[in-house]
Amino acid sequence: MQNDNETYAAVDLGSNSFHMVVATVVDGRALIVDRIKEMVRLAGGLDDKRCLTNEAMNTAIQCLEKFGQRIKTIPSSNIRAVGTNTLRQARNSAEFLSKANTALGHEIEIISGREEARLVYLGVANTVFNDKDKRLVVDIGGGSTELIIGKGFNADITESLFMGCVNVSQRFFKDGEITSKRFRNAHIAALQELENVQAIYRIYGWDTAIGSSGTIRAILDVVIANGWSDRVITAESLTELKKLLISFGSITKINFPTLTENRLPVFVGGVVVLSAVFEALEIKSMEYSEGALREGLLYDQIGRQHDLDVRDKTVNRLMDRYSVDIAHAERIEKTTRQIFKKLKAAWKLDKREDLKMIRWAARLHEIGLAIAHNQYHKHAAYLLSYSDMPGFSRQEQTLLSILVRLHRRKISLVLFDQVTDDIKNKLIKLIIILRLAIVLNRSRNVINIPDIDIKIKDKIIEIYFQKKWLADHPLTEADLQTEANYLLVTGYKLVYS
């Protein structure tokens, strides 16, 4: 890594707590200089229609305003903020994000469950490094539980299950009463969530089990304080904890000195989930790691800024999986770079993120051919929308999907309803660059694309070819005329000579 002493920040909008970590890169490692945590309990703010209530949104916004004050002097390119399970579930997440982005002063991404799992593992791997053993990492959040098996810095198996300390507590212990029957019903429901993955995880196996969430830390503290274990959580200690919780009979009667008041309402739900994970995966004991999603975010962002972007690996894997014509994709990518360079200043495009997005689109625009040639651009867009893509947020997958969907044929403006006007205007520019690169490589022949000059005058795109080149390539000229007609719907006019 280069440029030590850079400051980075990661913000995790969890279903139970919001976390922020600020770090300085020293000798290639992230030195944490600040941590802020607030118990927001966002998952508890979902109503019967799976919409966030105004009260829940206001609480979250107030927290993000505090976070925003702390990170306002940090370069935007060094900040990453993500939302997890509750924002994946909320029907009005777009409304919330509009306000939340303003409060934080930075765009918040929603990540998939498996991407959350990958980042959790990365946080643990950078906190407790071990490149010899296979490790099972368990993270119990407010609305989901992530299970990961990996080695070194690589996560081999990732899964995100729809159960967490908040939603289990609300479903089975909402009025605060704790009984053997309720605990059993909650435990069975958790085992049902684990049923589809337990065999795969047992067969794959691991050497060490590590817990990484605030829930698991709270359980560990109680276990140690009661003398059931000295440094790890064991299956036996969870059994003793369950018996004691049932004997209390009510959440209001729970009396553990190490348990904070904020953690108390969701503690029983967390114990249920962890007990089920221990039983389903036959775990004997579990260590604890301070590293979690926010640390994983931090290291992932540092990697992006220093050309160690996992998204590049994801794109390459997709190209391999769908047997992309690599030589042709590379020619398209090369041409997009050339056109991007000429239009970057006039269109105020970002050399890093915008160029990456269009490069990825160039590499992936033909993956739909693996399904069928007819309408392959639509097949490709579907794959990019719904595939698990490590490193990509939901928003990034949406943008990439739109780019690929509109790389040929008619440009459907309806697709832009998914994004804001600012993003729409930028996407149209990237789409034009990609489409022109594809037109110029339409023949798929290994020929040298001529040097071209492109200028923008208001909404007119002017392309200048070498003298007589178009006359010698009538098919390209015909394709350009067709493309000029397609582009009219975007408000841009294409002329060439």
What is the pLDDT of the chain when averaged over all its residues?
94
**Helix axes 353-364 and 310-321, enclosed angle (nearest 10):** 10
The fraction of the chain above a pLDDT of 70, given in percent, is 98
Among 1.20.1050.10, 3.30.420.150, 3.40.50.720, 2.40.10.220, name the CATH number for the domain at 129-288: 3.30.420.150
Mean pLDDT of 284-294: 95
pLDDT single digits (tens) 384-430: 999 999 999 999 999 999 999 999 999 999 999 989 888 999 999 99
pLDDT tens digits for range 339-390: 999 999 999 999 889 999 999 999 999 999 999 999 999 999 999 999 999 9
Task: Read off the tokens for 467.
Answer: 């003298």
* CA–CA gap between residue 434 and residue 408 (Å, rounded): 9
- Sheet with 7-13, strands from edge to edge, namely 29-39, 17-26, 7-13, 79-83, 109-110
Considering the entire predicted model, what is its pTM?
0.91
Q: Tell me, what's the pLDDT at 1? A: 39
Taking only the tens place, the pLDDT of each residue in 227-264 is 999 999 999 999 999 999 999 999 999 999 999 999 99
For residues 162-184, average pLDDT: 96
Other CB atoms within a 10 A radius of the CB of residue 279 amount to 16
Angle, nearest 10°, between helix axes 264-281 and 235-248? 140
In this predicted structure, the answer to whether residue 290 has a pLDDT above a threshold of 70 is yes
Residues facing residue 139 across a β-bridge: 146
Cα–Cα distance for residue pair 106/479, rounded to 1 Å = 41
pLDDT tier, 448 (very low <50, low <70, confident <90, very high otherwise): low
Rounded-to-integer distance, Cα 330 and Cα 311, Å: 17
Model pLDDT, residue 469: 87
SS3 111: coil
Q: What pLDDT is stored for residue 228 in this prediction? A: 97
What residue spans of 72-144 are helical by DSSP H? Answer: 85-89, 93-104, 113-127
Tell me what pLDDT residue 2 has: 44
| Helix (H) or strand (E) run with residue 83 in it | strand 79-83
Confidence of residue 132 (pLDDT cuts 50, 70, 90): confident
Rg of the chain in Å (alpha carbons) = 26
By DSSP bridging, strand 493-496 and strand 460-464 are parallel
Please say whether the beta carbons of 64 and 18 come within 8 A: yes
Mean pLDDT, range 272-292, rounded to an integer:
97
Q: Residues 80-116: pLDDT tens digits?
A: 999 999 999 999 999 999 999 999 999 999 999 999 9
Alpha-carbon span 402 to 391, nearest angstrom:
18
Q: How many CB atoms within 10 Å of residue 240?
A: 15
User: Can you point out the beta strands (E) in 235-291?
Assistant: 285-288
Calpha distance 133→152 (Å, rounded): 8
Residue ranges covered by each domain of the chain: 7-111+296-302, 129-288, 309-449
Give the integer Cα–Cα distance in Å for 380 and 377.
5
| Token pair listed for 410 | 């008619």
pLDDT digits over 143-152, tens only? 999 999 999 9
How many other C-beta atoms can be found within 10 angstroms of the C-beta atom of residue 317? Answer: 12
pLDDT category at 447 given cuts 50, 70, 90 is low
Q: What are phi and psi of 99, to 5 degrees?
A: -80, -40
The strand pairing partners of 10, in sequence order, are 21, 80
Choose the weakest-confidence range: 160-164, 316-320, 417-421. 417-421
Count CB neighbours of 149 within 10 A.
20
What count of other Cβ atoms lies within 10 Å of the Cβ of residue 184?
14
Do domains 129-288 and 309-449 share one topology? The answer is no
Identify the CA nearest to 382 among candidates 412, 405, 415.
Answer: 405
E strand segments, 143-190: 145-151, 154-161
349 residue type, one letter: L
Q: How many CB atoms lie within 10 A of CB 420?
A: 12
* Mean pLDDT (whole number) for 63-91: 96
HSE (side-chain half, CA atoms, 13 Å) at 406? 26
Position 5 pLDDT exceeds 70: no
Predicted confidence band at 307 (pLDDT cuts at 50, 70, 90)?
confident
Multiple choice CATH, 7-111+296-302, 3.40.1160.10, 1.10.287.130, 3.30.420.40, 3.40.309.10: 3.30.420.40
Nearest CA to 368 out of 358, 359, 360, 378 is that of: 378
Q: Is the pLDDT of residue 28 over 80?
A: no
- What integer pLDDT is reported at residue 451 of this predicted model? 80
Measured distance CA(188)–CA(272) in Å, rounded: 9
pLDDT at 146: 98
* Contact (Cβ atoms closer than 8 angstroms) between residue 132 and residue 105: no
The SS3 call for residue 148 is strand
- Residue 492's pLDDT is 97
CA dist., res. 491 & res. 488, Å (int): 5
Task: Specify the pairing of strand 17-26 against strand 7-13.
Answer: antiparallel
The superfamily in CATH containing domain 309-449 is: Hypothetical protein af1432 (1.10.3210.10)
Q: What is the pLDDT of residues 190-200, one digit of tens each?
A: 999 999 999 99
What is the rounded distance in angstroms from the CA atom of residue 133 to the CA atom of residue 428?
48
Banded model confidence at residue 130, pLDDT cuts 50, 70, 90:
confident
